[in-house]
Amino acid sequence: MWLLPFGLVATVLLFYSGAHKSASHTVNYTSFVHDVATNKVATATITVTGGVSGTLRGGGSYTSQLPTALNTDSLSNLLLSHSVQVTATKPGGTSAVTVLFSLLPLLFIVGVFIWIGRRSKQQLGGLMGIGKSRAKVYDEEKPTTRFADIAGYEGSKAEVMEVVDFLKNPQRYAKAGAVGPKGVLMVGPPGTGKTLLARAVAGEAGVPFFALSASSFVEMFVGVGASRVRGLFVDARKRSPSIIFIDEIDAIGGRRGPGGFGSNDEREQTLNQLLSDMDGFEPGASVVVMAATNRPEILDQALLRPGRFDRTVEIPLPNQRERAAILAIHSKSKQLDPDVNLDAVSRGTPGFSGADLANLVNEAAIRAVRARRTVLMAGDFDSARDRLLIGRRDASNALLPDEKNAVAVHEAGHALVAVLSDHTDPVAKVTILPRGAALGVTEQLPEAERHLYPENYLTDTLAVRLGGRAAEIVMLGQPSTGAANDLASATDLATRMVREWGFSPLVGPIGYGPEGPDRDNPFAARPYAEDTQRAIDQEVARLLREAEIRATSLLTDNRGLLDRVVDLLLIRETIDGSELAELLGIPQRNSEHELVSAGPAHLLSARSSPSASSSPAGP
């Protein structure tokens, strides 16, 4: 925009100069003398350099150049004798046009420097303001989110609400001698709504709310993070009572010392400043720091001690009742068919976070749009759940007849072993339609959400996971690569049974932790001897062999039922739990969805791709 005035000035000047030049014509000295002698010239203006210009009696103007080298006075006598009005210009005069044209380059250079300065200020925040806090302040205009907009988590909301109540009514706590918390740390898996809960606090509280991400403290300049922390707490104290919310605090709150940040690291200086400011609150300064993280194990212990983050609020994955309430909130703005049962949908989504459920409803809406509908059907939710758990249905992934038969045998083995075992979850659906990397899927539905898993449930689960491979051996005479994912998941479950949960008489009731070598650090040493590792390997192999023998025995003894399930799968391609129970003469049980097998995996480039599946691997 600043270039526009200069452009307009230049245009006007050029137009004026061009118009002035176009109205006059240039003549030589001889023609000029002839015009004077014939009384055609009315006026003449002569410059020091010998230039002459003027007007003609008949109208128009002219310009010419006098031959000053002749050094003669005859021209002046000629002009006076023919009544020509003669004027002369003073030396050194400069026109306004000349001045403006000479200033244009300077003005252009100044404008370029101004533009560069503004760009630098936008990108770097200005050299003078680089250490200022970048927190967004919610004061008069607060977020519209309220606690009523968050389903479930009543205990977590009650703890956080106490902080809001303390800031609103500090005198009530002072009468009882209670001191409000200085810091509240919200911990939970990704997608459980920690940031959403903080937005609700900002909406409910009648106090200023400073919100920012921990990564905004970290810069390439040394000392910038510490300066921003100081500025943030100064602003918060000035507007006390107030709340500071730091999202993903693990970005600056990681452990210090060996294996962590260096002594001169910028992030360590920022953490030290944060610890100092949280400890340095003046008495009576009602400022509460809230933070969120999904990795509390890496936080520095000095950050978690009383007096700093002295209250931890656990925000776990929602249970079935809470999932139904979350689905209801996300479905408010959508038209649902009367057949849609959100309770049934919630039972089919164990382990889903709030973000997963929001994505599920959105995927169902997208499927309805593809079908040119505005009303969401129950099938939309089922397809959306399968899309998220297993992958997109790939109609172009056609199987050869032998492969389709092998997939049917594999999935029939999983389903039949699950039905014939006493302590497994009932089967919900079996399909041999390829989805994502999986060529077939067997879903089981737990009768209730489990928190503890007995040993007989886990051993039956091992048999179910190896049921597909056992069916291939019984019916086809040999296994295939389709059991790769089943073997990996079964081995992982058996390893945890031996190493973590003490389900091995040989190893004994000893827990060696959730990992042998640290999975985040493959060079870390195991916390046990090589002989112990050998015993663990032997017990894992024993559990897997016993599970395969049991699955093979069940399928061999019920070969007729296995053949019937395989035939039905080849005809129908998808059968649900009620049809399977009717086929086998077994009553159907009420249950909740949980995916236990997705396989066999599709072969790509002569290798087995892992199939997408989730399974009840234990607490």
pLDDT band at 262; cut points 50, 70, 90: very low
* DSSP secondary structure, 366-416, as one string: HHHHHTT-SEE-HHHHHHHHHHHHT--B-TT-PPPHHHHHHHHHHHHHHHH
| pLDDT: which is higher, 434 or 405 | 405
Q: Is the pLDDT of residue 12 over 90?
A: no
Q: Kindly indicate the confidence band of residue 469, based on its pLDDT and cuts at 50, 70 and 90.
A: very high
Q: Do 525 and 476 fall into the same domain?
A: yes
The residues that are catalytic are: 411
Dump pLDDT digits (tens) for 544-588. Answer: 999 999 999 999 999 988 999 999 988 888 888 888 888 877 765
Q: How far apart are CA 301 and CA 103, in angstroms?
A: 65
State yes or no: pLDDT of 451 exceeds 60. Answer: yes
Rounded-to-integer distance, Cα 500 and Cα 495, Å: 8
Q: Which pair of tokens denotes residue 211? A: 């919100």
Residue 265: per-residue pLDDT: 67
* 599 within domain boundaries: yes
Average pLDDT for 9-29: 62
pLDDT in tens, 483-504: 888 999 999 999 999 998 999 9
> What is the predicted pLDDT for the residue at 489?
92
* Letter string b/e over residues 476-506, b meaning 16 or more CB atoms within 10 A of that residue's CB: eeebbebbbbbbebbbebbbbbbbbeebbee
- What's the total number of domains in the chain? 4
pLDDT of residue 66: 80
Question: Are residue 592 and residue 559 in the same domain, yes or no?
Answer: yes
Any idea what the Cα angle at residue 56 is, between residues 53 and 57, rounded to 5°? 150
CATH number at residue 380: 1.10.8.60
Residues 173 and 158 both lie in one domain: yes
183, 292: one domain: yes
Question: Does position 220 have pLDDT exceeding 90, yes or no?
Answer: no
pTM: 0.64
One domain for residues 269 and 361 = no
Q: What is the rounded CA–CA span in Å between residue 151 and residue 332?
A: 13
In a shared domain, residues 476 and 453: yes
> Do 590 and 497 share a structural domain?
yes
Does a structural domain hold residue 590?
A: yes
Query: Which of 274, 292, 314 lies at the terminal end of a domain, its last residue?
Result: 314
Q: Flag whether 116 is in a domain.
A: no
Task: Give the per-residue pLDDT at 574.
Answer: 85
Q: Contact 217/225 with Cβ under 8 angstroms?
A: yes
Answer whether residue 100 shows pLDDT above 80. no
The pLDDT of residue 23 = 55
160/269 same-domain check? yes
Q: What is the mean pLDDT of residues 592-603?
A: 40
Mean pLDDT for all residues in the chain: 77
Q: What is the CATH number of the domain that holds 167?
A: 3.40.50.300
pLDDT at 393: 65
For the segment 318-359, what is each residue's pLDDT rounded down to a tens digit? 888 888 888 988 898 889 988 888 888 888 888 888 888 989
| Residues spanned by the domain of 343 | 320-389
Same-domain status, 378 and 444:
no
Quote the DSSP letter at residue 45.
E
**Average pLDDT over every residue of 9-22:** 56
Same domain, 432 and 556: yes
Q: What is the pLDDT of residues 31-86, one digit of tens each?
A: 888 888 888 888 888 887 778 888 888 788 888 888 776 666 777 778 788 778 88
Output Rg (C-alpha) for the chain, integer angstroms: 42
